[in-house]
Amino acid sequence: MKASLSTSIGTLTLERPTILASGILGISLNIFERLYRAGAGAVVTKSLSKEPWDGYANPTIFSVKGGGWLNAVGLSNPGAPNFAKMITSNKDVPIIVSLVGSVEDDFDFMVRQFENCKVSAYELNLSCPHVAKVGLEVGDDVELVKKIVKKVKSLTDVPVIAKVGLGTTNYLDTVGAACEAGADGITAINTIRAMAIDVETRKPILSNKIGGLSGTPIKPIAVRCVYEISSKFDVPIIGCGGISTWQDAVEFILAGACAVQFGSVLGEHWTEVFAEINSGIQNYMEQKGYSSIGEMVGLAKGS
């Protein structure tokens, strides 16, 4: 009998624990359907704002030596109202809508746009490292985090997930505020503030100067954060940051995650990475005698 890859985040049950992270390919229903067929358990949209945003001028993405990416796209998106129209025909794909804003009313407006759409969950982006007033500044304000989570919870019956990052406030305080307000899950972590300088031009490479570092360089930090959150809070965790192999995914699960997100790896391995990681997790489970994801979650805490 095959081990089950099914997992749950609040009331959301996924057939597979592998999720497309926000910011990667997250803007088209056709792509969502393709990724789901390729093995994704769910897809997270690009972070959507109340109004369309153009983002930053190029260059916005830079490949980091040794693996990983530095990006400052600027949360470019078509706006929640326009995006909601794009996914009204969705029937099968578990779509997690990522939302970004600076005040409660922003989120109130955006959630209402999706009343006629099949949405599986909302992920509140409280931790973008390179856009002022809507990213880490929001996540660093624990009272605002509580207000935003409570507001979204009052507007929907689907799970509400808070995505946290490493800002100036202890991220565990942000997690605590989200949990206190009723968050159904935590995504940890977002990209980390970083930059690169061109030694020939003697100028920062990204147009915004500061960007977010993703990919393999941040994996050990993300694993540590998942472990710490799992050790302190009884809340479903989605691990995110530097996952490129099934071993990476299992590491996050053992640290306390019930599901994982990845995106940077798609730049090298494209959509087949979902099936590869799913298969690797399942083979590992069967070799070790685990029948469900839940049996593995947080096992490293007991060692």
Looking up residue 100, the CATH number of its domain turns out to be 3.20.20.70
Q: Is residue 264 part of a domain?
A: yes
Residue 30 annotated in ligand binding? no
The pLDDT, as a whole number, for residue 47 is 94
Report pLDDT for 68: 86
Tell me what the mean pLDDT of segment 263-291 comes to: 91
Q: Do the annotations mark residue 187 as ligand-binding?
A: no
300, pLDDT greater than 80? yes
Residue 215 assigned to a binding site: yes
Q: Is 26 part of any domain?
A: yes
Distance CA 120, CA 264 (A): 23
Given this model, what pLDDT does residue 81 score?
A: 97
CA-CA distances (angstroms) from residue 216 to 7, 26, 63? 24, 21, 12
Confidence band for 279, pLDDT divided at 50, 70 and 90: very high
* Residue of 128, 225, 240, 258 marked catalytic: 128
Our answer to whether residue 258 is catalytic in this structure is: no
8 marked as binding residue: no
* 273: in domain: yes
For residue 159, whether the previous peptide bond is cis, meaning omega lies within 30 degrees of 0, is: no
47 known member of a binding site: yes
> What is the distance between the alpha carbons of residues 123 and 96, in angstroms, rounded to a whole number?
6
- Give me the mean pLDDT over the 29-35 stretch: 94
Asked whether residue 200 carries a pLDDT value surpassing 70, the answer given is: yes
Q: Is residue 103 in a domain?
A: yes
Amino acid at 217: P
Cα distance between residue 137 and residue 131, in whole Å: 9
**Left if phi > 0, otherwise alpha if psi is -120 to 50, otherwise beta: which for 10?**
left
Has 75 been labeled as part of a binding site?
A: yes
Whether 194 is covered by a domain: the verdict is no
* Structural domain for 233, as ranges: 7-46+79-187+220-302
Domain contains 202: no
CA–CA distances in Å: residue 100 to residues 46, 79, 90, 148, 210: 10, 10, 22, 10, 19
How high does pLDDT run on average in the chain?
92
Cα 243 to the chain's mean position, in Å?
12
pTM, to two decimals: 0.95
- Residue 261, pLDDT > 60, answer yes
Considering the domain boundaries, does residue 168 fall inside one? Answer: yes
Answer yes or no: is 51 within a domain: no
Number of domains in the chain: 1
